[in-house]
Amino acid sequence: MTSSTLLPAFAPALALSDTDTDLALAGHLLSLLRTTTTEPRPDEQLEALTLAVAADLPVLLWGEPGIGKTAALTQLATSLDLPLTTVIASVHEPSDFSGLPIVGDDPAVQGVPMAPPQWAVELVRAGRGLLFLDELSTATPAVQAALLRVVLERRVGALQLPPDVRIVAAANPRASAADGWELSPPLANRFVHLNWVHDRDVVVRGLGGVWPRAELPRLAPERLPESVAFARHAVCGFLKARPTLIHRLPTSETRRGGAWPSPRSWEAALTLLAFGTAASVSRDVLALLVRGAVGDGPGLELLAHLDRMDLPDPESLLADPAAAELPERGDLRQAALEAVVAAVGARPERHRWEAGWAVLVRALETGAPDLLVAPATALAVLRRDDWEVPDAVERLAGVVGLARTADRSVERVAAAADARRATGARR
């Protein structure tokens, strides 16, 4: 097989020299190696990244060197048809972000404007793009300070970046960064932090030429108002219950360089929650985003609060036990039953106590009986001496086996009722 049959497109160059032929063949081979395609494929971290980009929130990807952060951003820009502008933060001076002062004819009157760098001017000319701030953890504290306005206000010197410019950064943990620095708390608090890890199947299939396709989330137009209302209700309700989490600066330097709760980051979490609800993303994707905004602890607490928001109103369950709709998930079902018992305990009245037992019977008919032990035991303790025991108690005691669990409260209540009936019969 001749060179001309391998690469007919380069036939004119073959007559020039052997060196040109070798370079042409090498270039063709490299082109083949770099030619890949994409496919729809579930990828939680990629879905979280695209949703944060759609929400116009700065994202910081944390990962070890060589994990594929830069490749992911390149593929993201291609998929979203956005021009990619890569800026290596560690090789720039603070003036490259804050602007270089240019003295004019009359600085006392006109002032001294801050001239922006070329990359910022090109972004403005394009009107849109993906600004990729790479190697952020190797940027000096002075450069990090200069980046504050770029990341939050989208200003570079005197230049305002267009609304359609999105910002994504990448960083290596300090232990694996080349001459790395911890991120300053003000800069860290401006980002949604995502830990970027490799997936074996994604890497293997990608090296075979097929990578996951990055797609912006599909927002349901009819759900936009309710998504905003839900997100505001969720975050505000949570912070009313946990006001100490509104602002909590971590004590260690390393944790200050990550996600932590502040009014700014709670606003980001609210935005992500609204976008995630409108796009119907999975709980796992939502967890990555919320924890990336406010930190692991506060983020997990917020997610637990969301679960409680999905619980049915205990008063509604007590009002119509026969039609009670209880959650399917075991932990949520038990939480709903415990809420019913707590509601009865808050206002202990005979008809409410009997309704509580009816709710437990409904739960027995529609789910696993082992979840009823704790709430049934707690409900039995709330009984007053002059309240007769409903038939539901005996049914639950027989099916669930409450007489062999906990403190045998239900069994004692049933025994006391039998004794009273016997005494009444003798009279």
| Sequence-ordered list of residues with C-beta below 8 angstroms from that of 312, at least 6 positions apart, any chain | 324, 325, 326, 327, 336
CA-based radius of gyration for the chain: 31
Residue 174 has a CB neighbour count (10 Å cut-off) of 16
In single-letter form, the type of residue at position 229 comes to A
Range of the domain at 408: 314-426
| Together in a domain, 58 and 194 | yes
Percentage above 70 pLDDT, the chain: 84
User: According to the model, what pLDDT value does residue 128 have?
Assistant: 93
From residue 215, give the alpha-carbon distance in Å to each of 42, 84, 163, 201, 243: 11, 16, 19, 19, 36
| Sequence-ordered list of residues with C-beta below 8 angstroms from that of 171, at least 6 positions apart, any chain | 60, 61, 62, 135, 136, 137, 177, 183
| Together in a domain, 208 and 237 | no
| Sequence-ordered list of residues with C-beta below 8 angstroms from that of 221, at least 6 positions apart, any chain | none
From residue 86, give the alpha-carbon distance in Å to each of 65, 181, 281, 344: 17, 20, 29, 61
The angle formed by the CA atoms of residues 387, 388 and 390, to the nearest 5 degrees, is 125
User: According to the model, what pLDDT value does residue 178 have?
Assistant: 56
Dihedral, CA atoms, 299, 304, 310, 311, nearest 10 degrees?
Answer: -160
Domain-located, residue 195: yes
Instruction: Give the separation between CA 331 and CA 322, rounded to whole angstroms.
Output: 21
Domain-located, residue 254: yes
Chain center to CA of 29? 41
Q: How many domains does the chain have?
A: 4
Range with top average pLDDT, 110-114, 155-159, 174-178, 231-235: 231-235
Q: Range with the lowest mean pLDDT among 149-158, 319-328, 353-362, 384-393?
A: 384-393
First to last CA, the chain: 114
| Together in a domain, 375 and 402 | yes
| Together in a domain, 48 and 145 | yes
Instruction: Give the separation between CA 102 and CA 111, rounded to whole angstroms.
Output: 9
User: According to the model, what pLDDT value does residue 18 have?
Assistant: 60
Percentage above 90 pLDDT, the chain: 40
Domain-located, residue 266: yes
User: According to the model, what pLDDT value does residue 427 have?
Assistant: 56
Q: Is the pTM of this model over 0.75?
A: no
| Together in a domain, 90 and 232 | no
Domain-located, residue 106: no
Residue 351 has a CB neighbour count (10 Å cut-off) of 9
Report the pLDDT averaged over residues 232-236: 93
Q: Give the tens place of pLDDT for each residue, 26-79.
A: 989 999 998 888 888 888 999 999 999 999 999 999 988 888 888 888 888 888
> Is the pLDDT score of 424 beyond 70?
no
> Is the pLDDT score of 4 beyond 70?
no
> Is the pLDDT score of 227 beyond 80?
yes
Strand 155-156 with 159-160, pairing = antiparallel
How confident is the prediction for the chain on average, in pLDDT?
Answer: 84
The angle formed by the CA atoms of residues 248, 249 and 255, to the nearest 5 degrees, is 120
| Together in a domain, 67 and 10 | no
From residue 82, give the alpha-carbon distance in Å to each of 3, 53, 56, 57, 165: 38, 12, 14, 16, 9
Residue with token string 């932090």: 193
Burial class (CB in 10 A: 0-12, 13-18, 19+), 140: middle
Residue 204 has which token pair? 């293997």
| Together in a domain, 197 and 259 | no
Report the pLDDT averaged over residues 359-379: 86
| Together in a domain, 274 and 405 | no
> Is the pLDDT score of 124 beyond 80?
yes
> Is the pLDDT score of 262 beyond 90?
yes
Q: Dihedral of CA 356/360/363/367: which sign?
A: positive
| Strand blocks (E) in 202-330 | 210-212
| Together in a domain, 286 and 361 | no
The larger pLDDT score, comparing residue 132 to residue 65, is at: 132
Residue 143 has which token pair? 């450069």
DSSP helix/strand/coil, 256: helix
| Together in a domain, 90 and 178 | yes
Q: Range with the lowest mean pLDDT among 148-152, 195-199, 327-331?
A: 327-331
Listed residues 212, 229, 256: the one ending a domain: 212
Instruction: Give the separation between CA 237 and CA 309, rounded to whole angstroms.
Output: 10
Sheet of 84-88: strand order equals 84-88, 128-134, 164-171, 59-62, 192-195
